[in-house]
């Protein structure tokens, strides 16, 4: 395809169409509104449906219902709306209903600054809904990456029957870049599971060798119970530990056994490096610029961009930090994911570069942190 000038939010909408999305429900909110606007035009062109709901709670409710009906479905929001969605994110996790939630982060808390970038929703993306639950969270650092990771979010959601959250930030969502889109016919897409059993034998939460039972939509002869309560393999509420325990283990294992497929990252390494810089999202762009400048000054610095934030890539970071004296972690908040990095590599080895005032972290800030480690 020919190169195009595309906004990050537009790339998200186009990525959803490429992934096979046929349903979007949402409520306008800065800086994610352009995703809804784009899909309001594009979905009818591919036979899909767009609904503007009365609020964000209802938006995700509609998305969950559409997914149960067989549609690949998504919503998009920002901080305040993301907070409102947490109960339904937990419901989708409990009922193992695939869906995609895009959060174009802005400065908070509360209304905050709607047009300022932030990475302040990282911990909320993992722990915002209550209880132990599996979650996959991705983070994009460019317009093209937004397109690619939107497709990946749909694929992972369908493959593991789990809500997948894609984190952007205001600047990634609103910036425009020259993008070379792939041949859409060559894009690999995950399909809904199939089963050979008749409808009366189908058990939606049965333990399979793959840990992920096939998810069959309503309306095709399959009827089963869906609840936010702990349930047995048929979907009916249960209080029996011998039924809840295996379900909890399967929910955990379907993610833990698939880390090689879920964990996405990029490394830019040099030989005999003594410093590692870690970043994600928009901050990865400025951090990589600082790493390149540091190398020109004679410093041996490696770089790790995290594209999957949750499940947290412990082994990836542990391996990247092996035989490294210092780790510099940069993020646009007052210290969220850096705490996980410190847990893995040791707090004494980590130099924080953080800010939560709505200003981006610039290369000189990261470079200064590298230079201070001499």
DSSP class of 10: H
Domain residue limits at 164:
4-186
Q: Do residues 179 and 144 touch, judged by C-beta distance below 8 A?
A: yes
pLDDT value of residue 208: 74
Give the tens place of pLDDT for each residue, 3-34: 899 999 999 999 999 999 999 999 999 999 99
Q: Average the pLDDT over 28-56 and give the result.
A: 98
Q: What are phi and psi of 169, to 5 degrees?
A: -140, 170
In angstroms, the Cα distances linking 160 to 154, 212, 222 are 10, 6, 20
- Residue 291 burial class via C-beta count within 10 angstroms: exposed 0-12, middle 13-18, buried 19 and up: buried
Last residue of a domain, one of 152, 186, 220: 186
Closest of 208, 212, 210 to residue 192, by C-alpha: 212
Write down which residue in 186, 217, 232 finishes a domain: 186
Tell me whether residue 110 is in a domain. Answer: yes
* Residue 170 in domain: yes
The last residue of one of the domains, among 154, 186, 218, is: 186
> Among residues 94, 48, 97, 57, which one has the least CA distance to residue 75?
57
For residue 276, give the CATH number of its domain.
3.40.50.920
317-325 mean pLDDT:
96
Q: Is residue 359 part of a domain?
A: yes
Determine which helix (DSSP H) or strand (DSSP E) holds 144, and give its type and residue range: helix 143-160
Asked whether residue 298 is domain-assigned, the answer is yes
pLDDT tens digits, one per residue of 95-141: 999 999 999 999 999 999 999 999 999 999 999 999 989 999 999 99
Q: Would you say residue 207 lies in a domain?
A: no
- Is residue 94 in some structural domain? yes
What is the count of structural domains for the chain? 2
Which CATH number covers residue 145? 3.40.50.970
């Amino acid at each position: 395809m020919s190169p195009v000038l595309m906004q990050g939010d537009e790339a998200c909408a186009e990525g959803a169409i490429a992934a096979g999305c046929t349903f979007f429900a949402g409520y306008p909110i800065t800086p994610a509104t352009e995703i809804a606007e784009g899909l309001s035009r594009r979905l009818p062109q591919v036979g899909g449906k767009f609904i503007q709901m009365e609020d964000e709670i209802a938006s995700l409710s509609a998305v969950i219902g559409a997914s149960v009906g067989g549609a690949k479905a998504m919503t998009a929001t920002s901080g305040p709306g993301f907070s409102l969605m947490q109960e339904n994110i937990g419901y989708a996790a409990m009922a193992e209903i695939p869906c995609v939630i895009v959060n174009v982060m802005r400065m908070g808390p509360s209304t905050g600054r709607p047009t300022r970038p932030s990475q302040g929703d990282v911990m909320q993306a993992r722990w915002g809904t209550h209880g132990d639950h599996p979650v996959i969270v991705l983070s994009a650092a460019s317009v093209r990456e937004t397109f690619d990771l939107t497709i990946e979010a749909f694929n992972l959601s369908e493959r593991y029957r789990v809500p997948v959250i894609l984190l952007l930030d205001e600047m990634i969502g609103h910036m425009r870049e020259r993008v070379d889109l792939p041949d859409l016919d060559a894009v690999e897409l995950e399909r809904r599971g199939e089963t050979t059993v008749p409808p009366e034998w189908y058990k939606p939460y049965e333990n399979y060798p793959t840990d992920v039972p096939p998810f069959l939509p309503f309306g095709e002869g399959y009827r089963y119970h869906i609840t936010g309560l702990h349930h047995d393999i048929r979907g009916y509420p249960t209080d029996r530990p011998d039924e809840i325990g295996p379900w909890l283990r399967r929910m955990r294992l379907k993610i833990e056994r698939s880390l090689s497929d879920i964990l996405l990252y990029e490394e830019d390494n040099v030989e005999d490096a003594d410093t590692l810089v870690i970043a994600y999202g928009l901050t990865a762009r400025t951090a990589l610029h600082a790493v390149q400048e540091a190398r020109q000054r004679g410093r041996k610095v490696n770089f790790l961009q995290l594209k999957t934030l949750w499940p947290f890539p412990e082994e990836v970071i542990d391996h990247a930090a092996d035989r490294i004296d210092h780790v510099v972690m940069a993020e646009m908040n007052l210290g969220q994911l850096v705490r996980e990095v410190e847990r893995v590599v040791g707090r004494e080895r980590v130099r924080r570069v953080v800010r939560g005032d709505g200003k981006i972290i610039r290369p000189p800030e990261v470079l200064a942190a590298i230079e201070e480690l001499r």
